[in-house]
Amino acid sequence: MYLSVRSKFALATSGAVVWTALSAWLAQPWFAELSTHLGRYLAWFLIGGIAILPGFMNAFLLLSLALDKRPRRQPLESYPPLSILIAAYNEAASIEETLVSIERQNYPGELQVIVINDGSQDDTAAIVRRCLPRYPWLQLLHLEKNGGKANALNLGLAQARHELVLTVDADSYLYRNALCAIVERYRQDPPNTRAVAGTVLVRNSRENWVTRCQEWDYFHGIAAIKRVQSLYQGTLVAQGAFSLYDRATLIQVGGWPENVGEDIVLTWAILKAGHRVGHSEDACLFTNAPTTARQFLRQRKRWSRGMVEAFKQHPSLLLKPQLPTFFIYWNLLFPWLDLAFTIGFIPGLVLALFGHYWIVGPMTLALLPVAMLMNFIMFSVERKMFDLHGLKVRRNARGFLIYTLCYSLLLQPACLLGYLAELFNARKHWGTKDMAPVKVQPEGK
């Protein structure tokens, strides 16, 4: 039976509302007890942020995933030419393998690959120069000083010859047929689509516990959310690591902005212009995730700060009558959830260890079966995609355990710090960035 996108949205929303109402009714005794210790307003703030709102979101995601029956993409009669932009800063260890992965795609259309060496202090430029004779589609833009990723991509965009522009991170590896898959999805999505986000997976997941639990985050959470947002006509982040854009639209919205979260701000600009942003669930790229807790915290702080930047630059999206606006408001609730978790759930765990179950107790334990059901459904959806494309889900039980029980103890406080940093206009860090004007030296064809 065919269901329109709006019918699926109505069903998923109705089911989530029913679940939320039931949860609020069941939480009355919990609310009454917590109110005696913290007062009614703080009690509702914490219960809403720890249990009620997350329950609504989880129910909506589960129902939406169950209703998502997207058509299989089909081969094209001819494949359009692509301009691929790779911003590289100190990527000597990985840049050559990234180029090899592009060569192995055997993409049927014309390729132009531009590596923008963003003032690297290592041998990145020398390695790319060594590859120039081997790959006729390759060219190098050498920047004498590091100017930031947005600046590098915009300089590459100015050199792009083709109407479709793809961004790839310099420490990534394209899985087979990824280019064909993302182009086919772009061409076969609704005609107002102007960007498509690929699927990013963790490449170095066996390095340590930090990368092991991130493997599940990319495989489960991020992939599922992008799939659902795409179903409802608006993926909110076409990530710079692997996304396809219409060149004319990039120019129309002014290219990549000089922000910490340049990819999310750009995506919201595309949505604001009235276009759709899709997601290609089976166009896969493997990237290196942060390997230390400190790097992970800095990355997620930067991502959450980018979300606030997007709200500051595109607040009118909250008033735009389209389905993606629902997810804009969804993002508006994240500071509430992260604050409630940080100031409520984490101290509640400590209190529970001493026998005080005011915040973490039987009611929160009752949420575990729902969380496990959600993880099972997300796993089933992604595993089906893996099976279709010859990928295997590697055994990672320890990483899953850490991801399920402990991941949020790092993630949500980091996000909270990101919101605060942007709200109070703290100094922005991209790593080592010198924002002085740069001199461009084009090399190659």
3-class DSSP assignment, residue 116: strand
Confidence at residue 334, expressed as pLDDT on a 0 to 100 scale: 94
> What is the residue extent of each domain of the chain?
82-323+438-444
Judge residue 394's burial from the number of C-beta atoms within 10 Å of its C-beta, 0-12 exposed, 13-18 middle, 19 or more buried: exposed
254-289 exposure pattern, b = at least 16 Cβ within 10 A, e = fewer: ebbbbbbbbbbbbbbbbbbeebbbbbbbbbbbbbbb
Cα distances from 152 to residues 116, 159, 251, 308, 433, in angstroms, run: 6, 11, 15, 23, 12
0.85 surpassed by pTM: yes
Over the stretch 237-276, which tens digit does the pLDDT of each residue have? Answer: 999 999 999 999 999 999 999 999 999 999 999 999 999 9
Q: How far apart are CA 271 and CA 230, in angstroms?
A: 12
CA angle, residues 283, 300, 204, in degrees to nearest 5: 50
Per the DSSP assignment, residues forming a β-bridge with 143 are: 118, 440
What are the tokens at 139?
A: 């060219």
Report helix, strand or coil for 72. Answer: coil
First CA to last CA across the chain, in angstroms? 52
Question: 82-323+438-444: what fold?
Answer: Spore Coat Polysaccharide Biosynthesis Protein SpsA; Chain A (3.90.550)
Q: Are 351 and 360 in contact (CB under 8 A)?
A: yes
Per-residue pLDDT of the chain (445 residues; tens, 9 = 90+): 778 899 999 999 999 999 999 989 988 988 888 899 889 999 999 999 988 898 899 899 989 988 888 888 899 999 999 999 999 999 999 999 999 999 999 999 999 999 999 999 999 999 999 999 999 999 999 998 999 999 999 999 999 999 999 999 999 999 989 999 999 999 999 999 999 999 999 988 888 888 988 988 888 788 888 989 998 988 999 999 999 999 999 999 999 999 999 999 999 999 999 999 999 998 999 999 999 999 999 999 999 999 999 999 999 999 988 888 999 999 999 999 999 989 888 888 787 777 777 777 666 666 666 677 777 777 777 777 777 777 776 777 777 888 877 888 888 999 999 999 988 887 776 543 333 334 445 555 5
Structure-derived torsion over alpha carbons of residues 278, 170, 142, 111, reported in degrees to the nearest 10: -50
Task: For residue 44, give every residue at least 6 positions away whose Cβ sits within 8 Å of its Cβ, in sequence order, or none.
Answer: 31
